[in-house]
């Protein structure tokens, strides 16, 4: 685990029904960084995240992850995939209580929910303003509540790598603030990385160490936060930042 | 189905064993050809056949349960019972004959041998003509089978009972016709006792009383009775099965005077089949 | 007349149940024992298999699925015949001595209910939001754990698959008649008793047995559904 | 013996099908006509009712649902008996003259398959995302239009409900035997023919009929599923 | 239809499982305005929209809508409810093609899809960057694509009142721009109102005529856009705008 990179992605691609929606020649995610992925709707951002979580496999290329290389079509062993988790764009909760949803990752890992664990989990729920919803059925939550439950469920088992697909899309400014604080603190705990998709450029600016622009399935530019916003290499990036159409 | 159509069809309710023997398949086409009627055969349990008659859903019955037949006519559901033919019951058992029934002289002794050896016996147990006959035989042998564990009451038809007896290697009582027609499927069974006069099995034919129900095809039923008692058809009955089994399955007895309509209590006419 | 027979059936049913007639109690006990055991066996194989089929793609799956659904309409009497032939003294499993015993009946009924349980479980699992299944995997669920969670999501469908399997065998007569032999005091169940009484022309008693059977099935279903009460609320 | 009988059955089935034996062809035709018509009737009532139950809440719904699910396990022979009593000359519908005709058999089989179609349709409809149903209403769908769209979403489940209903009646023997009377050339269907041959101990021919029945069911199911091919892809 | 108000809401409330999540004493929506609803997650915004679309009914009070009053528990006739539609927070599309989804509201109204209609619908899809997805199955869309399809489906039948629940939550800046333009143009077509929930304060600022802050199920403040941002009456509003927690 002394590698410089959490991910090193080479030449991966993904095709659905004859349509190649992702084609990444090279992308590496450094240890300890928050990496933001931006790009227009349909660019392939969520697809890339699914491949990074090994929920789907790429059609070509390979992914080096936490020190081991996985060829297209192959999947790491459970021990390794359990080190990474995604908070999906569209939160998918089980039709049971909020509490049961949040402790699910611990239960499937055979963890005992001791009193101190209960305390810890309740603290996380409290931080996210969810404590009073502890026993509510998850299919009755508001949009933003569901999104926060999904985040709580992801961080409760302290995965090494956290992939976030627009985790604040359905939230108000105050809640966005809370979640950004949680994300910033979390990167100090995990000795690895956070990859986050966001359409909120201000959010990327507040949180990211580096930013990549994905467009039509290809990486247009990867840059440090400052340069991405101040000195982008590519015209496409400039257009994207200014809200001009780049489809 | 409208009225005129109904009258061109004759509903014959009979027992499965009668139908399974194949006799009707041989005779009915001749009748249909001659008379122009179409005959539809409903083959069911004896009790069920009587019930179908009592509900007015058949035009004519062909069964072999003398007591029930008399009652049917006496209750006014049938016009008259006509004797048709008879065959006999045989006692079947495993080839090994564990109760040594083969050495007995009478059916009474045979059944007593089964009881004293606690040899398994499979009864149809379905209140069919065969079952009622079997019960009266146990009565005559003064054996109470209830609550014994060697006596298996199956509650099934003749065919099923024979199959079961063959598998379980038990004794059982069956009519000769059904047994012969299924013999090739019953390698474990053979006749261990036959010929006692109390094993006589007469078949009757009863038109359903048209006064009790609408839509009874009484004309057809009467024609069918006339057909079955006719000499040439009676002869055919006596010939049926000879080619295949080397012996007839049924013996015509339409000539036997039927006194049941006189006093309704006429005991079964006794005539030992010549086998 | 028709209303007579029905009324007679109802009274008879009440009467039989009230008097705790040992003959009837015995028949009920055998019915429940045989169909209950068969259902448990069918569920133990059918639910995992259905979940697997619902969650996996492989070549030839359409074929397997069609076979499974066809199995739902496998005539019980043919299954009975197969089992009969297998268990008969000259059959491959003849040495078990299961013919005309509850074991043989259980075997036949398991085979009858298994495609129903598996088929409906499969359909229910395929109705679960695929995003949820992805999310479960992403949270670190093993294939088995994700399957269990998916079955939990599809719980109403799985319950109905069990109810359907139970309904099919508790009401089935062809196979138990053939394999069990309808032996009084040993392998007679409610349905074979119904057929027997029908053959005897005792339609009233036959209907009484039918009512008893339905009452039992209703109580079991109602209890199971109560346990899943919330699931029943309409999808308004 | 067992392998002999099975092999014999297969050969016999092939032989019967190849030779287009008119006796067999007639039995197949009656089976398909009766069960097909019964299924259409059951679907016409069962699918709307199932959708209604799946989409609505009202007091006593749990009871109705339990009754419906119990109906799935209604012994065919008891239904046959009810229909028999109704249609008998002395019954309330005796004047129809439907006893021992395909009409009576269709009536009995419709009653048998209807709870299956309705029950599974209900379950399938309840599995549809409730947000979608709200969205449809918001877009201006009437209750009926929303119901139709919901059924379209639940199409695999609805299809399976039809398959289940078909499977139950094409393989059913108790009711058709009682109501139809197993009249050769008129009301004999595959299952009653199987019972007849079994009773005679002609296991080979019985199995041949069973194989023919399954082949027909399989072809029908496979065709229906092909039409819904995409729906079958696993929920990976 | 000469009323001043599209909606006049009096004393409505909604309780779920003993929990009162909405209690609005008075709220009116003017004809011809874009009305923005903001507030923290779980405030009751989506619930209010459901009541305004008559998908659920309130437990108390009454709603006057397009000139008629509907008491709690009662629902307008189909003709009236067909004048209002919602684009839900979580887009719910039918598992059929994008095209079939978009023409659904026309089909259920018995409209003939003439050639010129096809042209018009294709133009809407094109505006939203969806034309090339016309035949894709809607359950295979990306998050933002699905959201845009849901919007296209809502405006295609020209409802008099449009309720939008965070219609741009999953979109990039350029797409947000497109949709805001479409919304601005649409209000000119409909001779009524648009009510829009958004967590994007900048978006509210760009689009709204008036803004309301909902908090814990109650309306805290209704104000013109300028005053809402520049001179809010309430401290809660100030806190909300500054991203401070107001739970
Ligand atoms: N299973 C699938 N089958 C076919 N096409 C797919 C599938 N999944 C995704 N796509 C297509 O791939 C493209 C990229 O999808 P993806 O979800 O990665 O986009 P995205 O960048 O996350 O967009 P958004 O910001 O809108 O969420 C989209 O055009 C989408 O329609
Ligand atoms: N069916 C329900 N049963 C129980 N509680 C519910 C139900 N629907 C909503 N709620 C609760 O009502 C409250 C308001 O929900 P609503 O969806 O209106 O919030 P919202 O303002 O839209 O929030 P968000 O911005 O997060 O979408 C929430 O706390 C939610 O948990
Ligand atoms: Mg996405
Ligand atoms: Mg909301």
**Ligand 2 atom 1: residue of nearest CA:** A140
Alpha-carbon distance of B237 to D50, in angstroms, equals 57
What integer is the mean pLDDT of C202-215? 89
Chains that touch E (3 or more CB pairs under 8 A): A, D
pLDDT score of B259 = 44
User: Which of A14, A21, A48, A49 to mutate for ligand 1's pocket (most ligand atoms within 8 Å of CB)?
Assistant: A21
The pLDDT confidence band at residue E192, using thresholds 50, 70 and 90, is confident
- A43 CB under 6 A from ligand 1? yes
What integer is the mean pLDDT of B57-77? 93
φ/ψ of B221, rounded to 5, equals -60, -45
Alpha-carbon distance of E190 to E201, in angstroms, equals 24
Q: Which of D 31-90 lie inside 8 A of B, CB atoms?
A: 88-90
Alpha-carbon distance of E222 to E234, in angstroms, equals 10
Residue C135 with chain A: CB contacts under 8 Å: 86, 88, 92, 150
Quick one: which H or E segment has residue B72? helix B66-74
Structure tokens at A234: 């590519």
User: What is the ipTM score, two decimals?
Assistant: 0.87
What integer is the mean pLDDT of E122-130? 94
Q: Is the dihedral of CA C13, C16, C20, C25 positive or negative?
A: negative
What integer is the mean pLDDT of E75-99? 94
Long-range Cβ contact pairs of E229-236 (< 8 A, separation 24 or more): E229/E201, E229/E205
Quick one: which H or E segment has residue A150? helix A143-155
pLDDT score of D226 = 77
Alpha-carbon distance of A56 to A69, in angstroms, equals 16
Q: Which residues of A155-174 are buried (b: 16+ CB within 10 A; e: fewer)?
A: bbbebbbbbbbbbbbbbbbb
Residue of D55, D90, D221 lying closest to C234 (CB–CB): D55
| Cα A199–Cα A200–Cα A201 angle in degrees, nearest 5 | 105
Task: Characterise E82 by phi-psi region: left (phi > 0), alpha (psi -120 to 50), beta (else).
Answer: alpha
The residue written with tokens 């290389």 in the block is A69
Contact D236 C55 (CB under 8 A): yes
Q: How far is CA D88 from CA A114, B48, B215, D93, E146, in A?
A: 70, 13, 12, 7, 60
D75: pLDDT strictly greater than 90: no
D216: pLDDT strictly greater than 50: yes
Contact C140 A154 (CB under 8 A): no
E5-242 under CATH 3.50.30.60, yes or no: no
Q: For residue A38, which ligand has an atom nearest its CA?
A: 1
pLDDT tens profile B130-167: 999 999 999 999 999 988 889 999 988 888 899 899 98
User: Which of A15, A40, A41, A43 to mutate for ligand 1's pocket (most ligand atoms within 8 Å of CB)?
Assistant: A43
pLDDT score of C60 = 82
Structure tokens at A164: 């976030």
Pocket-forming residues, ligand 2, beta carbon under 6 Å: A 136, 140-145, 170; E 16-17, 21, 39, 41-47, 89
| Cα A59–Cα A65–Cα A66 angle in degrees, nearest 5 | 170
What integer is the mean pLDDT of B220-246? 92
Contact D202 B185 (CB under 8 A): yes
B84: pLDDT strictly greater than 50: yes
Alpha-carbon distance of C198 to C214, in angstroms, equals 17
Alpha-carbon distance of A214 to A196, in angstroms, equals 13
Alpha-carbon distance of A241 to B211, in angstroms, equals 99
User: Which of A131, A137, A141 to mutate for ligand 2's pocket (most ligand atoms within 8 Å of CB)?
Assistant: A141
Residue of E42, E175, E245 lying closest to A40 (CB–CB): E175
Q: Which residues of E205-228 are buried (b: 16+ CB within 10 A; e: fewer)?
A: ebbbbbbbbbbbbebbbbbebeeb
**Ligand 1 atom 8: residue of nearest CA:** E140
Nearest residue in chain D measured CA to CA from E100: D149
Closest CA to B160 of D193, D1, C193, D202: D202
Contact C201 B126 (CB under 8 A): no
Q: Which of A94, A146, A153, A156 to mutate to test the interface with C (most CBs of C within 10 A)?
A: A94
Residue of D100, D184, D198 lying closest to B11 (CB–CB): D100
pLDDT score of A144 = 93
Beta-bridge mates of residue A30: A5
What integer is the mean pLDDT of D6-31? 85
Nearest residue in chain E measured CA to CA from A91: E90
Alpha-carbon distance of E51 to E20, in angstroms, equals 14
Beta-bridge mates of residue B171: B121
Contact A246 E174 (CB under 8 A): yes
Distance between Cα A42 and ligand 1 center (Å): 5
Quick one: which H or E segment has residue A162? strand A161-165
Closest CA to A214 of C26, E233, B230, E172: E172
Note the Cα A56 to chain centre separation in Å. Answer: 15
pLDDT score of B267 = 34
Quick one: which H or E segment has residue B38? strand B38-44
pLDDT score of E108 = 95
Structural contact between residues E221 and E234, judged by C-beta atoms closer than 8 angstroms? yes
**Range from A129-133, D20-24, E44-48 carrying the lowest mean pLDDT:** D20-24
Distance between Cα E24 and ligand 2 center (Å): 15
Print pLDDT tens along chain A (247 aa): 457 899 999 999 999 989 999 999 999 999 999 999 999 999 999 999 999 999 999 999 999 999 999 999 899 999 999 999 999 998 899 999 999 999 999 999 999 999 999 999 999 999 999 999 999 999 999 999 999 999 999 999 999 999 999 999 889 888 999 999 999 999 988 878 999 999 988 899 999 999 999 999 999 999 999 999 999 999 999 988 887 766 5
Distance between Cα C230 and ligand 1 center (Å): 35
Q: Which of A 105-134 lie inside 8 A of C, CB atoms?
A: 105, 108-109
Using CB atoms within 10 Å of the CB of residue E112, give its burial: 0 to 12 exposed, 13 to 18 middle, 19+ buried. Answer: exposed
Q: Is the dihedral of CA E230, E232, E237, E239 positive or negative?
A: positive
Residue D181 with chain B: CB contacts under 8 Å: 40, 42, 44
Contact B182 D88 (CB under 8 A): no
What integer is the mean pLDDT of C162-191? 92
User: Does E210 or A190 have the greater pLDDT score?
Assistant: E210
Alpha-carbon distance of B3 to D183, in angstroms, equals 20
pLDDT score of B275 = 33
Q: Which of C66, C178, C201 to mutate to test the interface with D (most CBs of D within 10 A)?
A: C66
Nearest atom of ligand 2 to the alpha carbon of E39 = 21
Residue percentage of chain C with pLDDT more than 70: 95
Alpha-carbon distance of E23 to C182, in angstroms, equals 67
- What is the distance between the terminal CA atoms of chain E, rounded to a whole angstrom? 39
Residue D122: count other Cβ atoms within 10 Å of its Cβ: 31
User: Does E192 or B108 have the greater pLDDT score?
Assistant: B108
Alpha-carbon distance of E37 to E208, in angstroms, equals 9
Note the Cα B151 to chain centre separation in Å. Answer: 22
The pLDDT confidence band at residue E191, using thresholds 50, 70 and 90, is confident
Helix (H, G, I), strand (E, B) or coil at B85: strand
- What is the distance between the terminal CA atoms of chain B, rounded to a whole angstrom? 46
User: Does C15 or E128 have the greater pLDDT score?
Assistant: E128
In this complex, is the C-beta atom of A75 within 8 Å of any C-beta atom belonging to chain C? Answer: no
Structure tokens at B208: 């359903």
B78: CB partners within 8 A, 6+ apart? B53, B61, B69, B72, B206, B207, B208, B209
The pLDDT confidence band at residue D199, using thresholds 50, 70 and 90, is confident
Structural contact between residues D123 and D54, judged by C-beta atoms closer than 8 angstroms? yes
A213: CB partners within 8 A, 6+ apart? A38, A39, A219, A220, A221, A228, A234, A236, A237, A240
pLDDT score of B262 = 40
Under DSSP, the state recorded for A172 is -
Average pLDDT, chain E: 93
pLDDT score of A4 = 84
pLDDT tens profile D80-94: 989 998 998 878 888
pLDDT score of B3 = 41
B245: pLDDT strictly greater than 90: no
pLDDT score of D217 = 87
The CATH class of the D2-226 domain is mainly alpha
Alpha-carbon distance of E167 to E196, in angstroms, equals 8
C113: distance to nearest CA of chain A, Å?
A: 29
Beta-bridge mates of residue E199: none
What integer is the mean pLDDT of C6-14? 79
Q: Domain residues of chain A, as ranges?
A: 5-242
Q: Which of C 85-144 lie inside 8 A of D, CB atoms?
A: 85-86, 88, 90-92, 116, 119-120, 123-130, 133
User: Which of A97, A139, A142, A174 to mutate for ligand 2's pocket (most ligand atoms within 8 Å of CB)?
Assistant: A142
Closest CA to D105 of D86, D88, D82, D80: D80
Q: How far is CA C194 from CA C98, C131, C212, D70, E95, in A?
A: 23, 49, 11, 18, 47
Residue D137 with chain E: CB contacts under 8 Å: 55, 81
Beta strand ranges found along chain E (DSSP E): 5-16, 19-30, 34-38, 60-65, 68-71, 84-87, 161-165, 194-197, 210-215, 218-224
Residue D203 with chain C: CB contacts under 8 Å: 81, 85
In this complex, is the C-beta atom of E86 within 8 Å of any C-beta atom belonging to chain D? Answer: yes
Residue of E82, E95, E96 lying closest to D140 (CB–CB): E82
Structural contact between residues E98 and E126, judged by C-beta atoms closer than 8 angstroms? no
The residue written with tokens 């309904």 in the block is C167
pLDDT score of D234 = 56
What integer is the mean pLDDT of D11-36? 88
Average pLDDT, chain D: 88
D4: CB partners within 8 A, 6+ apart? none
The pLDDT confidence band at residue B269, using thresholds 50, 70 and 90, is very low
- A47 CB under 6 A from ligand 1? yes
Structural contact between residues D120 and D160, judged by C-beta atoms closer than 8 angstroms? yes
Residue C153 with chain A: CB contacts under 8 Å: 94-95
Structure tokens at D68: 């419906």
Residue of D81, D160, D213 lying closest to C198 (CB–CB): D81
């Amino acid at each position: 685990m002394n590698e410089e990179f959490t991910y090193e992605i080479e030449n991966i691609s993904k095709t659905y029904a004859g349509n190649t929606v992702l084609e990444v020649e090279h992308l590496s995610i450094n240890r300890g960084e928050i990496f933001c992925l931006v790009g227009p709707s349909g660019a392939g951002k969520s697809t890339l995240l699914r491949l990074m979580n090994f929920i789907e496999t790429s059609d070509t290329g390979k992914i080096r992850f936490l020190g081991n290389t996985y060829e297209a079509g192959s999947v790491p062993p459970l021990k390794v995939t359990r080190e990474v988790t995604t908070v999906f764009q569209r939160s998918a909760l089980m039709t049971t209580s909020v509490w049961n949803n949040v402790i699910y990752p611990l239960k499937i890992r055979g963890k005992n929910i001791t009193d101190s664990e209960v305390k810890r989990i309740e603290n996380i729920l409290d931080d996210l303003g969810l404590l009073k919803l502890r026993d509510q059925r998850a299919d009755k939550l508001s949009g933003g509540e569901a999104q926060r439950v999904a985040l709580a469920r992801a961080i409760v088992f302290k995965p090494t790598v956290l992939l976030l697909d627009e985790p604040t899309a359905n939230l108000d400014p105050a809640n966005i603030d809370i979640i950004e604080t949680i994300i910033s603190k979390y990167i100090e705990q995990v000795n690895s990385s956070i990859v986050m998709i966001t359409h909120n450029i201000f959010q990327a600016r507040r949180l990211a160490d580096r930013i990549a622009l994905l467009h039509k399935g290809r990486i247009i530019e990867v840059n440090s936060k400052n340069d991405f916003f101040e000195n982008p290499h590519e015209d496409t990036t400039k257009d994207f930042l200014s809200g001009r159409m780049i489809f | 189905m409208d009225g005129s159509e109904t009258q061109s069809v004759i509903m014959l309710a009979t027992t499965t064993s009668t139908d399974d023997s194949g006799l009707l398949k041989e005779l009915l086409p001749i009748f249909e050809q001659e008379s122009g009627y179409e005959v539809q055969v409903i083959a069911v349990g004896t009790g069920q056949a009587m019930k179908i008659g009592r509900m007015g859903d058949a035009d004519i019955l062909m069964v072999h349960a003398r007591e029930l037949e008399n009652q049917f006519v006496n209750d006014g559901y049938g016009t008259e019972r006509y004797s048709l033919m008879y065959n006999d019951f045989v006692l079947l058992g495993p080839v090994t004959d564990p109760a040594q029934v083969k050495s007995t002289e009478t059916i009474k002794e045979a059944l007593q041998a089964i009881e004293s050896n606690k040899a398994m016996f499979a009864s149809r147990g379905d209140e069919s003509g065969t079952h009622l006959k079997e019960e009266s035989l146990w009565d005559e042998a003064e054996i109470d089978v209830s609550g014994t564990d060697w006596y298996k009451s199956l509650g099934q038809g003749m065919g099923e009972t024979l199959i079961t007896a063959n598998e379980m290697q038990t004794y059982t009582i069956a009519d000769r016709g059904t047994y012969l027609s299924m013999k090739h499927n019953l390698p474990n069974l053979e006749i261990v006792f036959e010929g006692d006069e109390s094993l006589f099995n007469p078949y009757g034919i009863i038109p359903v009383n048209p006064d009790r129900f609408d839509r009874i095809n009484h004309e057809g039923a009467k024609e069918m009775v006339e057909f079955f008692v006719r000499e040439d058809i009676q002869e055919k009955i006596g010939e049926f099965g000879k080619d295949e089994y080397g012996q007839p399955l049924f013996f015509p007895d339409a000539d036997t005077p039927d006194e049941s309509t006189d006093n309704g209590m006429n005991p079964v006419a006794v005539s030992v089949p010549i086998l | 007349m028709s209303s007579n027979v029905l009324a007679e059936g109802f009274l008879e049913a009440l009467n039989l149940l009230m008097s705790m007639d040992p003959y009837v109690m015995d028949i009920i006990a055998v019915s429940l024992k045989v169909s209950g055991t068969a259902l448990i066996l069918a569920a133990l194989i059918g639910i995992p298999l259905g979940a697997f089929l619902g969650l996996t793609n492989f070549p030839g799956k359409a074929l397997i699925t069609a076979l499974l659904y066809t199995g739902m309409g496998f005539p019980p009497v043919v299954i009975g015949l197969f089992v009969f032939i297998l268990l008969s003294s000259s059959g491959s499993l003849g040495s078990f001595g299961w013919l005309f015993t509850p074991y043989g009946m259980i075997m036949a009924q398991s085979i009858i209910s298994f495609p129903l349980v598996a088929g409906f479980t499969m359909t229910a699992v395929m109705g679960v939001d695929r995003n949820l299944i992805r999310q479960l995997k992403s949270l670190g669920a093993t294939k088995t754990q994700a399957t269990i969670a998916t079955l939990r999501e599809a719980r109403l469908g799985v319950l109905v698959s069990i109810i359907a399997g139970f309904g099919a065998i508790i009401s089935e007569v062809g196979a138990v008649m053939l394999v069990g032999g309808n032996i009084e005091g040993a392998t007679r169940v409610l349905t074979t008793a119904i057929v027997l009484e029908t053959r005897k022309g005792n339609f009233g008693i036959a209907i009484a047995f039918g009512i008893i059977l339905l009452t039992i099935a209703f109580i079991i279903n109602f209890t199971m559904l109560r346990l899943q009460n919330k699931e029943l609320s309409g999808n308004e």
